[in-house]
């Protein structure tokens, strides 16, 4: 609520618009009474500019828009003229004046639209009725209080209470503070004045705006940079996808070609069991040898001996399987324990004479030997001895002349193989011993 004194001061200022405007130092006695005591020349010292009372004396009433300046200068719709904010000899005021220029232009710009905003209309209406309005219409003060602010620039950022460097509210003399309240509610150009007069606060505000502009520009350039990178990566991704797609189609073509070749070259392959098919049921004939089935790995490494040889070690994989036929298929592959280089290899079949425990062991070895061993299976032990041995014509000497083997499943569930042999130079002597651990069912 504006006190009567404040309203009176405003009314006086309003009336004073018809007369040449007084110089800042020649404010009305009432305004002079409101000025802070510390003012050097009784004029509008910076602290005094924070007082709405002083500002009111300079500019006239808030509702006095588009009034003509007494000096004949340009006056804003709100009654503000540039002269009001640029007292001679004040550097700060010049700076503030530039802000006012912005404020003015901003205000004009915002009021330029073809469809005027409601507050503007209301103000214009108020201006029109003011001179002839004595009782029924709103008076200058009343109208000012009811009118919403026409410019956000004139009110929000420039309130002393919101500016960190603005003079504290309790420093303002009481009448002036009341005037401030009155003028704030009017959203008059006085509000602009008030904030502009707190120069350091305005500077900080502008600085912060500058830094915002700068960081915004930086961010924009970073965003541009990132966009370029993203576009580049998208291009690369597209190229890679095309390559993958080409590769996929090539793989498909090769698979089709391979299938075609298989059909042409091996017409019978198409009838072979597929890998996903269930394993064949074991033929009952070979059931006494079922304990040998599986894939086995030497554990520990096999040990080799012979009178003519240095003892040696080896790794060996034994694979013993069936395909439903009355026999087992086997392959033994030995490797060097350090280099894993392939060494001795052999593969063949183990047959059982039906309804007996007689076993025939048929093997072909990479050393050029083919042999048949025969023997018996008893429980989980198979003992066999060479029945016939043949070799290639250029087989190395000394030639093996006799071979005996023993397979057994030990108490630990491991498979053991023991091999002895006789050569043209040595009698029957142990040559190999290896224990295998099962690695597949
Ligand atoms: C039943 C199967 C095998 C037979 C009949 C056989 C036979 C022979 C014979 C006749 C020799 C020559 C001995 C001499 O020079 O006095 C030999 C040597 C040798 N055997 Fe076997 N062997 C068999 C399995 C293996 C296995 C599984 C290994 C494991 C790596 C192996 C490793 C060797 C080695 C390292 C030598 C000495 C170097 C060589 O002559 O290559 N043998 N073997």
- In tens, the pLDDT along 354-399 reads 999 999 999 999 999 999 999 999 999 999 999 999 999 999 999 9
* Ligand 1 centroid distance, CA of 330 (Å): 19
pLDDT at 156 over 90: no
Higher pLDDT, 52 or 284: 284
Q: What is the pLDDT at residue 223?
A: 87
User: For the whole model, what pTM was predicted?
Assistant: 0.48
pLDDT at 200 over 90: no
DSSP, collapsed to helix, strand or coil, labels residue 326 as coil
Higher pLDDT, 273 or 408: 408
* Ligand 1 centroid distance, CA of 335 (Å): 13
Asked if the bond preceding 247 is cis, omega within 30° of 0, the reply is no
Nearest in space to 87 (alpha carbons), one of 122, 59, 61: 59
Residues β-bridged to residue 438? 296
Rounded Cα distance between 360 and 368, Å, is 20
Per-residue b/e over 255-294, b at no fewer than 16 CB within 10 Å?
eeeeeeeeeeeeeeeeeeeeeeeeeeebbebbebbebbbb
Pocket test for ligand 1, best of 344, 346, 402 (most atoms within 8 A of CB): 344
Atom 28, ligand 1: residue with shortest CA distance:
344
Number of residues that this document lists for the chain: 441
- Considering only 99-113, 121-135, 228-242, 296-310, which range has the smallest mean pLDDT? 121-135
Rounded Cα distance between 95 and 269, Å, is 96
pLDDT at 170 over 70: no
Average pLDDT over residues 335-350: 98
* Ligand 1 centroid distance, CA of 379 (Å): 29
Atom 25, ligand 1: residue with shortest CA distance:
344
pLDDT interval class at 88 (50, 70, 90): very low
Ligand 1, pocket residues at CB < 6 Å: 304, 306, 308-309, 312, 314, 334, 343-344, 369, 398, 400, 403, 419, 421, 423, 431-432
Token reading at 259: 């299938």
Rounded Cα distance between 362 and 330, Å, is 10
Rounded Cα distance between 286 and 441, Å, is 17
H-helix or E-strand containing 430? strand 429-440
* Ligand 1 centroid distance, CA of 290 (Å): 28
């Amino acid at each position: 609520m504006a006190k009567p004194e404040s309203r009176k001061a405003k009314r006086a200022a309003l009336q004073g618009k018809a007369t040449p405007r007084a110089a800042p130092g020649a404010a009305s006695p009432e305004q002079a009474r409101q000025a802070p005591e510390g003012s050097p020349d009784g004029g509008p010292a910076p602290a005094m500019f924070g007082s709405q009372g002083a500002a009111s004396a300079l500019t006239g009433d808030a509702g006095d828009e588009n009034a003509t300046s007494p000096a004949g200068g340009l006056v804003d719709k709100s009654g503000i003229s540039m002269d009001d904010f640029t007292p001679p000899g004040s550097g700060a005021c010049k700076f503030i004046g530039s802000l006012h220029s912005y404020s003015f232009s901003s205000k004009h710009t915002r009021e330029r639209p073809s469809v005027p905003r409601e507050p503007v209309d209301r103000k214009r209406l108020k201006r029109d009725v003011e001179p002839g309005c004595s009782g029924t219409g709103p008076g200058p003060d009343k109208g000012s209080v009811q009118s919403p602010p026409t410019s956000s620039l004139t009110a929000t950022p420039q309130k002393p209470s919101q500016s960190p460097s603005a003079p504290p509210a309790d420093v303002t003399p009481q009448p002036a503070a009341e005037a401030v309240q009155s003028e704030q509610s009017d959203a008059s150009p006085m509000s602009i004045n008030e904030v502009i007069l707190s120069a350091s606060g305005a500077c900080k505000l502008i600085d912060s705006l500058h830094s915002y502009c700068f960081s915004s520009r930086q961010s924009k350039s970073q965003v541009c940079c990132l966009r370029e990178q993203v576009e580049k990566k998208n291009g690369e991704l597209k190229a890679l996808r095309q390559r993958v797609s080409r590769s996929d189609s090539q793989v498909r073509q090769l698979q089709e070609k391979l299938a075609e070749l298989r059909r042409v070259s091996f017409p019978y392959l198409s009838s072979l069991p597929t890998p996903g098919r269930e394993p064949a049921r074991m033929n009952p004939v070979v059931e006494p040898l079922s304990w040998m089935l599986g894939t086995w790995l030497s554990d520990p490494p096999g040990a080799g001996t012979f009178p003519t040889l240095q003892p040696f070690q080896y790794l060996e994989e034994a694979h013993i399987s069936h395909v439903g036929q009355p026999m087992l298929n086997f392959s033994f592959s030995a490797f060097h324990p350090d280099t894993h280089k392939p060494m001795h290899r052999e593969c063949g079949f183990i047959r059982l004479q039906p309804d007996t425990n007689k076993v025939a062991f048929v093997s072909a070895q990479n050393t050029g030997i083919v042999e048949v061993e025969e023997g018996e299976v008893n429980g989980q032990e198979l003992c066999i001895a060479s029945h016939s041995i043949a070799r290639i014509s250029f087989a190395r000497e000394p030639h093996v002349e006799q071979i005996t083997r023993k397979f057994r499943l030990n108490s630990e569930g491991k498979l053991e193989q023991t091999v002895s042999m006789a050569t043209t130079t040595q009698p029957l002597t142990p040559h190999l011993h290896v224990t295998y651990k099962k690695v597949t069912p």
